[in-house]
A and B are shown apart, each in its own frame.
Chain A
């Protein structure tokens, strides 16, 4: 949601906070401001509006919030009463998915070009100017967060029908997209033509610069219907984003009057019908029993009663009656939230955490097994990895398949850790990682009949199967070893009653982005030297930036020569061949 500072001041003329403060304050009261920027003379804020605040997808709702925060007066636009005629509009509503509609007809208008201020406003919101009537419908939607629509009655006639799709197969939208419809789509039609969807206008009654008579309408629908419709048609519009949320039908008279006033002002013409107002179930304010004590009970903050009263008054909450503009407030805690967000959650002390309290330990015992094993495997030199739980089709017939995975190659949940550990090994081999030795503890998944089950498993790989066999024996685990891999189902083991996992300073992990380069070197020495001393010496010479590992693979005493030959194998990473060779030759004096 874009918000132009100067335009916000139409609703809050006394607003004077600097932009950076407005950015922070909007964020603190729940409307996260990503950034603000200056474009020409205007300052634009970019806001994330949460799904429960449909009202704040318009300037009016945000201004209302800020009027409470800054204790400012909210000013409505100067709107003249609508001078309607006695001619009724022949509009029909045949579906119960409509909450409220207001509509009327205007004739003799000139729909030529929008004023500069309107074009600029829309441009700053990322919308193109089309013609004054269309531009004003967009403008009012951005102001009040209620979408509105206009029909050229030369094309559509006056007989509009709000109905579920009576059988149209296809619909062509204003931008000429062709959508395939089904019976669940809420539409506005005339007796012979499909004219509009609830959230997107159509070509058949599109307004153009020649349009002289129009029906303007503003409506709110069952949000679930709109949501299902736009998801089904895979068409998310600005109107759909708003109509799928709970909007206030009682705001329609103000917003619609503002639209009509602006159309008459900019395009001329006159109203030539009665005001059509369909509102079968009038929405009434929700009554909530609220005690100011709840604010303290929830927050432990002593918010003054005067502040609570003032805030409730500014929010138009009188005697527990919640204004229909705020359908997000549904319980006493919701009212307390309103008080606290304007008082400021940042005022709650941050230095009083919970202290220790003994409560029943409900830790599942398998978690102790997992922690124990992880520590033991680490001791044995194994590295922990995590692999994808989604795999391509496994051989196990009981594999669980996902229905809508975007990653079309990987749609099944794994039935064995070994399958995914093999992929990890392939990755390590591609990177030429020397002597890999790793494990994973994770879940495997099965479907039996209509039931799903999951088990914890341990998967291991050691480049030397004999060592793997010994390690399993050390851990007291039994498993078949196949190609140096083993898997044990942990659910079947006996679990310890308690285990405190070891925690030590974090060891860094490395993102290997290039192959490990392995180079050998022979060192001929006159005397026998402690190999560990040599390793430490060359470790320092090569440096930690590019040294992966260093090993003395062989030590020979050549009795004929009377010398000791040390064969080194050095693994380099984080560098290319050229640097590795240069470093290697220099380190071992081979230049």
Chain B
């Protein structure tokens, strides 16, 4: 079966199409349930090389769809008066474009931090274990490395970053000569997770970092609280508790009172009444030292949080796969 010839035949047919009805019959001939494309697909299993034949057919199908779709616009009878009827104008609700809900959340946070004088930042996804672990005070073979299952490119040296703190490693190294430093950044992080409704191998985190003189936990908690109020509204209740992360000392964990049960306990918060919102703390002196920053002169804080769960809750999305390569869409007119 010569797919190129079939495509040319379609082009010839389309050149003769004069109205919607004719176009519809061409569409049915090619793309209908018993049309040419489907009949070709049914032959895949008998083909000597089904894989490459399947790929060719996919490309062919796309080309057919594209040709028919574009023809419809070009030769639409909307603007082609046909006697004895007079065609006027067609109309639709104005098509509106949309930013991904994660981008919208990230921009909300960027705007807040830019108002406080923060730069934005970014760094590579493929990193060395040095930037992902060693510079963050996680020594080789420390059990803390079990906190995340790493997706390796070439174990143990090259990997996909497991947290946005890895971006902090690059940031501290880059900015060590231009202190004080304020920066905020979003990033995709990777874990070796099986993808299902609740888990994904890639998700978005957001992090903010400050290095200055005389930074305190009061600055950290006040700023973090402002961030939560920006995202979740002024009535949000957040508690701050001791938590361990190797890259900070002391480490603080913010928990938000469950917005579903208001602290009473429900399936969403696993009956704890609180939802863990990420991690934070004063940057560990070892992390500063490894970046070439003198911890006797400078100190700082860092905090980070996942964005996916919140974005899902806000958009009533039940399946985490929807956010990336899934069934995410937007109403075209609002």
What residues make up the interface of A, taking CB atoms closer than 8 Å to B?
27-30, 32-35, 50-53, 223-224, 227-228, 244-245, 297-301, 328, 331, 333-334, 336-337, 340-341, 345-346, 348-364, 366-367, 371, 374, 377-390, 400-407, 413, 420, 422-425, 427-429, 431, 433-435, 437, 443, 445, 452, 454, 463-467, 483-484, 500-503, 506-513, 528, 531-532, 534-535, 539, 544, 548-560, 564-565
Task: Determine if B154 and A363 form an interchain contact, defined as CB atoms under 8 angstroms apart.
Answer: no
Give the distance to chain A from B134, nearest Cβ to Cβ, in Å: 15
> Within 8 Å CB of A559, what residues of B?
84-86
Given contacts A333-B250, A384-B97, 8 further A-B pairs with CB under 8 A are A297-B216, A298-B217, A354-B222, A378-B99, A386-B325, A407-B201, A507-B104, A507-B330
Answer whether A360 and B178 are a contact pair too, CB < 8 Å, given A406-B192, A510-B328, A558-B84: yes
> Within 8 Å CB of B96, what residues of A?
381, 507
User: Which residue in A27, A341, A366 is a CB contact (below 8 Å) of B122?
Assistant: A366
In the complex, A78→B272 CA distance in Å?
36
Task: Determine if A551 and B285 form an interchain contact, defined as CB atoms under 8 angstroms apart.
Answer: no
Answer whether A428 and B329 are a contact pair too, CB < 8 Å, given A29-B242, A377-B97, A559-B86: yes
Give the distance to chain A from B246, nearest Cβ to Cβ, in Å: 8
Give the distance to chain A from B75, nearest Cβ to Cβ, in Å: 12
Give the distance to chain B from A345, nearest Cβ to Cβ, in Å: 5
> Within 8 Å CB of B88, what residues of A?
528, 555-557, 564
> Within 8 Å CB of A361, what residues of B?
119
Task: Determine if B183 and A362 form an interchain contact, defined as CB atoms under 8 angstroms apart.
Answer: yes
B233: Cβ under 8 A from any A Cβ: no
User: Which residue in B59, B152, B222, B328 is a CB contact (below 8 Å) of A349?
Assistant: B222
> Within 8 Å CB of B152, what residues of A?
402-404
Task: Determine if A353 and B226 form an interchain contact, defined as CB atoms under 8 angstroms apart.
Answer: yes
Give the distance to chain A from B208, nearest Cβ to Cβ, in Å: 10
Answer whether A299 and B218 are a contact pair too, CB < 8 Å, given A34-B270, A511-B322: yes
Task: Determine if B242 and A550 form an interchain contact, defined as CB atoms under 8 angstroms apart.
Answer: no
Task: Determine if A30 and B244 form an interchain contact, defined as CB atoms under 8 angstroms apart.
Answer: yes
Interface mask (B93-110 → A, CB under 8 Å = 1, otherwise 0): 101111111111101101
Task: Determine if B151 and A349 form an interchain contact, defined as CB atoms under 8 angstroms apart.
Answer: no
Give the distance to chain B from A390, nearest Cβ to Cβ, in Å: 7
In the complex, A512→B326 CA distance in Å?
9
Answer whether A384 and B103 are a contact pair too, CB < 8 Å, given A405-B192, A427-B326: yes
Interface mask (B290-334 → A, CB under 8 Å = 1, otherwise 0): 000000000000000000000000111111001111111111111
Task: Determine if A224 and B141 form an interchain contact, defined as CB atoms under 8 angstroms apart.
Answer: yes
User: Which residue in A352, A386, A445 is a CB contact (below 8 Å) of B102?
Assistant: A386
User: Which residue in A245, A404, A465, A539 is a CB contact (below 8 Å) of B143?
Assistant: A245
> Within 8 Å CB of A352, what residues of B?
218-219, 222
Give the distance to chain A from B118, nearest Cβ to Cβ, in Å: 8
In the complex, A374→B102 CA distance in Å?
13
Give 26 CB contacts A-B under 8 Å: A30-B241, A35-B265, A50-B244, A298-B216, A350-B240, A354-B223, A362-B181, A381-B96, A389-B188, A406-B194, A420-B325, A427-B326, A429-B65, A445-B126, A454-B126, A501-B111, A503-B111, A509-B100, A509-B329, A534-B91, A549-B332, A551-B91, A553-B78, A556-B88, A557-B88, A560-B84
Task: Determine if B90 and A552 form an interchain contact, defined as CB atoms under 8 angstroms apart.
Answer: yes
Give the distance to chain B from A119, nearest Cβ to Cβ, in Å: 28
Task: Determine if A387 and B219 form an interchain contact, defined as CB atoms under 8 angstroms apart.
Answer: no
B277: Cβ under 8 A from any A Cβ: no
B50: Cβ under 8 A from any A Cβ: no
User: Which residue in A356, A382, A445, A560 is a CB contact (below 8 Å) of B97?
Assistant: A382
Task: Determine if A300 and B99 form an interchain contact, defined as CB atoms under 8 angstroms apart.
Answer: no
What residues make up the interface of B, taking CB atoms closer than 8 Å to A?
20, 59, 62-63, 65-66, 69-70, 73-74, 77-78, 84-93, 95-105, 107-108, 110-111, 114-117, 119-122, 124-126, 141, 143-144, 146-147, 151-155, 158, 160, 174-175, 178, 180-183, 188, 192-195, 201-202, 210, 212, 214, 216-219, 221-223, 225-226, 238-244, 246, 249-253, 255, 265, 270-272, 274, 276, 282, 284-285, 314-319, 322-334
Answer whether A550 and B93 are a contact pair too, CB < 8 Å, given A403-B155, A509-B329: yes
**Residue of A whose beta carbon sits closest to that of B270:** A34
Answer whether A550 and B103 are a contact pair too, CB < 8 Å, given A51-B146, A483-B59, A484-B66: no
> Within 8 Å CB of B73, what residues of A?
464, 466-467
In the complex, A29→B250 CA distance in Å?
12
Give the distance to chain A from B332, nearest Cβ to Cβ, in Å: 5
Task: Determine if B90 and A51 form an interchain contact, defined as CB atoms under 8 angstroms apart.
Answer: no
> Within 8 Å CB of B251, what residues of A?
337
In the complex, A348→B282 CA distance in Å?
14
**Residue of A whose beta carbon sits closest to that of B323:** A386
> Within 8 Å CB of A300, what residues of B?
216-219
Answer whether A511 and B124 are a contact pair too, CB < 8 Å, given A30-B244, A357-B180, A464-B70: no
In the complex, A532→B91 CA distance in Å?
7
In the complex, A358→B110 CA distance in Å?
16
Give the distance to chain A from B49, nearest Cβ to Cβ, in Å: 16
> Within 8 Å CB of A28, what residues of B?
239, 241-242
In the complex, A28→B183 CA distance in Å?
29
> Within 8 Å CB of B252, what residues of A?
345
> Within 8 Å CB of A484, what residues of B?
62, 66
In the complex, A300→B215 CA distance in Å?
9
Task: Determine if A556 and B250 form an interchain contact, defined as CB atoms under 8 angstroms apart.
Answer: no
> Within 8 Å CB of B153, what residues of A?
400-403, 452
Interface centre among B99, B103, B125, B244 (most CB of A within 10 A): B99
> Within 8 Å CB of B103, what residues of A?
374, 384
Task: Determine if A452 and B126 form an interchain contact, defined as CB atoms under 8 angstroms apart.
Answer: yes
> Within 8 Å CB of A554, what residues of B?
20, 77-78, 87, 90
In the complex, A503→B270 CA distance in Å?
34
Task: Determine if B120 and A333 form an interchain contact, defined as CB atoms under 8 angstroms apart.
Answer: no
